[in-house]
Structure 1
């Protein structure tokens, strides 16, 4: 259904099924590309220490290659999701949910590493735990192989949950109150890399997040007059530049200041001290990593298993499963948010099943390509939908194509590795703070006047912070007699979003509370939509399958008619107050 057909309720310029003019598709697609740019660029930089990548030229070239791989993978995954998945106008990119379990996995004894005296060699341990000297390439590739294998196997579980429709059963136990602490801790637990990058030069880092905050919050409503051609005449339109591109503008301005500082150091004899690597302002220079641009190829083909065959382990798989779990909760929350912004019905079960299945396939693709990361929906791009009021599916497909094409240009991705460390740190403060805020915003569906809900959220957050802290301070406290099982338990206990998510789901489904109190009523309300409105989730060229009788048993089919599952309701019956009694009380009060 198009924007015009939905009447007064419609507030978007382009609905998911609308096709803007080709030039608008390119402009809007480029806008979504720029919105996701900060997160996509930052993930390989955050992962670099876990893969033993430093700031030398060889390490920076590896970061650029990981970045290009993530661009290509994000483009492929977004195109598949928007075309064959849930068909919502959402962008799939690298996921921050996988970062914490990756750090925990790389911090286990098997992957402890100390730099040797030579630049390109490291003192490491082999697969049997024996000390050995191995090359630089072997060090980082060995770690990427482990993460690759863990992502692939863990993502198969997500694929299975979507394909079989079990995610629909899992949704019985999931409410906004369970999603909120998971996403909140995805952001909160990333304060360490933010500080590590910012502390090399706090003044530049502070300026970076001041610029982004200024553009996004204080100048967000300021609109620029932009000229365009209409009916062969010059016309003007208002555009909220600061609100749409706050991260990009903040990055350019902070980067530009560092460039001025670098030029001054190179041309002013009184500032030659800035050329000293030990000087406080040295890390703010823009030419420290410039060599990587020269070394990077103009064109670089990205293909599966480009770093070699992945390795598989139980600890890695189970550890990344916690990341998959957090990513699924984040994506489901984004599905509902995107549908709400686009003014279409909440996604039906078959669309969620298909979306999670495609996300599982996308994570397998990302793992096979070797980006060192998986994929999930980008909350930043959900915000862009609200700002621009453009929710066209074709726009997102264009953004996917841009991501895919630019990922093959090696010098393009190498350019972003030259970002000064303190600028990156300042951006992290804003981005990770935004993720934390997105997590907390899920509570808007819940009754925050309920002491039950306050307890569930507060206790889950506290436990999610406390248990990983204790596990880090007592790494050898788990001793089951099996090294593999010990690693699995340590990885799970050390992953804050997983701990908080399990606690929130258990408490939310066992402490008595109504659906309205838990946020389920407003989260999934469909009362204001007609049956034909749900066709937005159908795959157009496959609509004939709705006439095939047995397709109603296929969980990813638009014809899917799930039979009511009684056992989940029995399991969590203690969390459901008598809804009829509540309704009767309300009716009696009104009478």
Structure 2
């Protein structure tokens, strides 16, 4: 029983009866909630550890949420790498991406920003990858791959992915430097909302032609996939799905009931892909689909049989990266867009998780770890960089489970699934029209995410309207015109510089982002008009335990006076904090 004195001293509803009882008579009133937090009614907070069986289930849920978008990138990249449909390297590429995503997720949640954020491949890197491969190498359609020997085909695609590896690995040094030195804050002063909007928006819009070609392989299956995603996400997302519930009592039972009512909304893409994929398999078995149709599930030949059961990706598996100036320039814009997207994800995840706003040291570590992830991606050869998965933050808002341990388990699941080579090969057999439907939805969401930053700026300002419209329009116009008129590109006579200039001008996100950044920082406007907020200083006594590095921070704080210099290290938990003089004994 809880005494009357305890009840009187603990009226705050944030404490459960069991917590008040265990605290005895010395329960203190909680601190006022930080304005950066939101009332989430969390079932599990960042530091909580659910029971092992729930942790596995929740981790698998995060895995399913990000898997469809993650595997779409290597499958898309394979067509520009000139990989044949039945080449086992397609499955190996997917396995490599899954293992890499799992490793970076564990690093980010343990030593990076330490929020429950899943790391995965990023679509913002795909446009520079495609531009690099099409500007430096001949189109795959002109190579007559069917008439080439296996050795010639392998040498062709290995040369292409080595160029991509070199570009990503080199640009990762830029990202690592920004995070480790704390220059991220300085960079954000110049990259304003009106620079972010055209950059991110053009990432989605730039894939308009590509999606049109992919979806045209079978309009019926593609539209069916898109319709299923929309139905599961919006029309049926809030409908209760009958399922058996294990009545274990307490928090576990409450979670299972909540998750059951949001099942369709939690897994719209996964459910749509498996349903459309299954229907294609049935149509293939009964010959409803014409022979040779892209929607058939038997077009990959003996890919599954030729893929090994287990495969361990390793650095240099495709050969060592090959660095070119054109590749580095093409990836630079993608890296900046990825950094800005990740910083926004950090703050969004903190709000949804009920955690205080991430301090600058945590943001620095987050960008630093993502840079290490891109370096690892370049060495392994994933075909793309890495960033935070925004869709998994939405899972937290739905399930009310913000446990860091859950996301760490999802990282382990990613690694295990990637090591099983047959699993990656099975995913590659998803018909192209099904993946085309997923890509249309994904790129549409990326476009809208880019436009969402406009809520920060004053859209009644003619200045802002001009910068927004001109940067997006010109970012589409110039690359499209140069693609149709390649002979019009100015030549300086310096082959390396001409190649760099060509890749830069053919990348819409680079052109639009640079134009928007230059115009917004040179045309006069008030901070409120431009959507700039004053930087908030974190109080010295702010509750930021969830961002402290495990094992390292307690050791630093126990030697605060002797290690006071570490408060000048941007990735240290004590960054810009005064040393505790009580340790001067």
* Cα distance in structure 2, aligned partners of 1:530 and 1:550: 17
CA RMSD of aligned residues (A): 2.5
Query: Please, which moves more after superposition, 191-200 or 393-402?
Result: 191-200
CA drift at 1:478: 2.4
Name the structure 1 match of 2:9: none
CA drift at 1:356: 1.1
Q: Deviations over 1:233-267 (max 9, x none)?
A: 998714211110000111122112212211221xx
* Cα distance in structure 2, aligned partners of 1:147 and 1:494: 16
Residue 74 (structure 1) aligned with residue 101 (structure 2): yes
Name the structure 1 match of 2:463: 452
* Cα distance in structure 1, aligned partners of 2:464 and 2:206: 22
Residue 405 (structure 1) aligned with residue 416 (structure 2): yes
Query: Please, which moves more after superposition, 175-184 or 432-441?
Result: 175-184
Residue 489 (structure 1) aligned with residue 501 (structure 2): yes
Residue 65 (structure 1) aligned with residue 92 (structure 2): yes
Residue 550 (structure 1) aligned with residue 565 (structure 2): yes
Q: 2:219 aligned to 183, 199, 202, which one?
A: 202
Q: Any idea what SS the aligned residue of 1:303 has? A: coil
Q: Deviations over 1:308-340 (max 9, x none)?
A: 122111111222222212211221222222222
Aligned pairs (5 A) from 1:268-287: 274=289, 276-277=291-292, 282-287=293-298
Name the structure 2 match of 1:589: none
Residue 415 (structure 1) aligned with residue 426 (structure 2): yes
The structure richer in strand per residue is 1
Name the structure 2 match of 1:442: 453
Q: Any idea what SS the aligned residue of 2:246 has? A: strand
Residue 162 (structure 1) aligned with residue 174 (structure 2): no
Name the structure 1 match of 2:26: none
- Call closer, same or farther: CA 1:85–1:256 in 2, change over 3 Å: same
Name the structure 1 match of 2:230: 213
Q: Any idea what SS the aligned residue of 1:237 has? A: helix
Q: 1:248 aligned to 270, 276, 292, which one?
A: 270
Q: 2:337 aligned to 309, 326, 330, which one?
A: 326
Aligned pairs (5 A) from 1:120-519: 120-121=148-149, 135-231=152-248, 237-238=257-258, 239=260, 240-265=262-287, 274=289, 276-277=291-292, 282-289=293-300, 291-476=302-487, 477-519=489-531
CA drift at 1:516: 3.5
Q: Deviations over 1:132-177 (max 9, x none)?
A: xx71110101111111111111111111111111112112223333
Query: Please, which moves more after superposition, 440-449 or 372-381?
Result: 440-449
* Cα distance in structure 2, aligned partners of 1:503 and 1:85: 32
* Cα distance in structure 1, aligned partners of 2:45 and 2:436: 37
Q: Conserved in 2, the CA contact under 8 Å of 1:101 and 1:320?
A: yes
Q: 1:10 aligned to 18, 33, 39, which one?
A: 39
- Call closer, same or farther: CA 1:392–1:175 in 2, change over 3 Å: farther
Unaligned runs of 5+ in 2: 1-13, 16-29, 579-585
Residue 560 (structure 1) aligned with residue 571 (structure 2): no
- Call closer, same or farther: CA 1:26–1:102 in 2, change over 3 Å: same
CA drift at 1:7: 7.5
TM-score normalised by the chain length of structure 2: 0.86
- Call closer, same or farther: CA 1:151–1:449 in 2, change over 3 Å: same
Q: Any idea what SS the aligned residue of 2:405 has? A: helix
- Count residues in correspondence: 534
Q: Any idea what SS the aligned residue of 1:93 has? A: strand
TM-score normalised by the chain length of structure 1: 0.85
Q: Conserved in 1, the CA contact under 8 Å of 2:233 and 2:265?
A: yes
Q: Deviations over 1:202-255 (max 9, x none)?
A: 011111100100110111111224333334799871421111000011112211
CA drift at 1:41: 1.2
Name the structure 1 match of 2:74: 44
CA drift at 1:413: 0.8
CA drift at 1:111: 4.4
* Cα distance in structure 2, aligned partners of 1:393 and 1:378: 15
* Cα distance in structure 1, aligned partners of 2:400 and 2:524: 39
Q: 2:51 aligned to 5, 14, 21, which one?
A: 21
* Cα distance in structure 1, aligned partners of 2:216 and 2:363: 42
